[in-house]
Structures are given as structure tokens and as C-alpha cells.
Amino acid sequence: MTEMSELNQAAHTEFHPRWYRKRLSTWWWLGEWHYLVFILRELSSLSVAWFVGLTLFQLRAFMRGPDSYGRFTDTLQSPIMIALNLIAFCFIMLHAITWFNLAPRAMPVRVGGKRVPEFLVAAPNYVLWIAVSAFVAWLLLRTS
């Protein structure tokens, strides 16, 4: 893309005028489902950054003691934080699901010359995901 536009500028002379290129609308991705999912998936990185930022604040509050940590958890109960975390959670889920489903495309598995169906290649990702999630929940919930 960038190489092409450099080429265009280099080739721009009196007898070779600049090629006509239709200006793409900023909202080109709204028209088709695949493009929309692509853009939303790209934007999911913002939710990742949001989550890590939140976790760093949580760690800081934890480090400062129970009162500070209590104020932090109170903040998380405010409607605006609930709303933001709900949005972030949806984006994170989109990232997780698209990421797990991408594995069979990135690494097609063949058994006996036949390609293993994609859902079978993606399945271990989901098994690992559920196991790790259950373990984390168990650690946090067991003696609270």
C-alpha cells in the first residue's frame, strides 16, 4: 500500500499523470460484516490496554493497604466503571474467540493427508481457556 503510493508519486510526470484513485470513505468498514468484525477486532486492543491500566491501579491500591483497596473496589461499583468494563469485556471476548479460531488457519493440521476440521484444531484452545478460567476463579473464590 505505502510502496504503491510512493511509486505513484515517483511516476507522476507530464505524460504520466497521477493515477485516479477514488478516495475511500473513513467509514468503509461499516458496509460489510467481515470488515466490521475486522475493525472491531483491531479496536479490541484498546480494551486490552484498558484492562492492564486498571490492573496497575488495582495493584497500586492493593499495595497501599486495605482502605485504599476498598476505595478502589468502590470505584469499580460506579455505573460508569461497570459500563466501561462491560464494553471492554465484550471486546476482549471478541479478541479471545477470533484468536482461538485463527489457530487452525495459521497452523493447518493434517492427519493421513487429510486436513483436520477447523473446529477440532481450535477445540484445545477452548479447553485450555475454560480450565485456566476455572482455576483462576477457584483461587479467588475459595476462602473468601
Partner 1 sequence: MSETPKKASNEGFLWLLFSAGGVVAAILIPIQLFLFGLAFPLGWLPQPSYDHLVYLMSSPWVRLYLFVMCSLPLFHWAHRFRFTLYDGLQVKHLNEVIFAFCYGGALVGTVLAAYLLLSI
Residues of this chain that interact with partner 1 (CB under 8 A) are 2, 42-46, 48-49, 51-56, 58-60, 62-63, 66, 69-70, 73, 76-77, 81-82, 85-86, 88-89, 92-93, 95-96, 99-100, 125, 128-129, 132-133, 136-137, 139-141, 143-144
Q: Report the distance separating Cα 38 and Cα 47, nearest Å.
A: 15
Return the number of the residue (80 or 111) whose C-beta is nearest partner 1: 80
CA neighbours closer than 13 Å in the CB half-sphere of residue 12: 10
Shortest CB 15 distance to partner 1, Å:
27
Three cell numbers, residue 11:
511516476
* Cβ neighbours around 114 below 10 Å, total: 8
- Any idea what the Cα angle at residue 115 is, between residues 109 and 116, rounded to 5°? 65
For residue 65 the three cell numbers come to: 493497604
Residue 130 Cβ, how far from partner 1 at the closest point, in Å? 9
Q: Which is nearer to partner 1, 28 or 113 (CB)?
A: 28
3-class state of residue 18 by DSSP: coil
Could you tell me the smallest distance in angstroms from the CB atom of residue 112 to partner 1? 29
Q: Between residues 13 and 144, which has the closer beta carbon with respect to partner 1?
A: 144
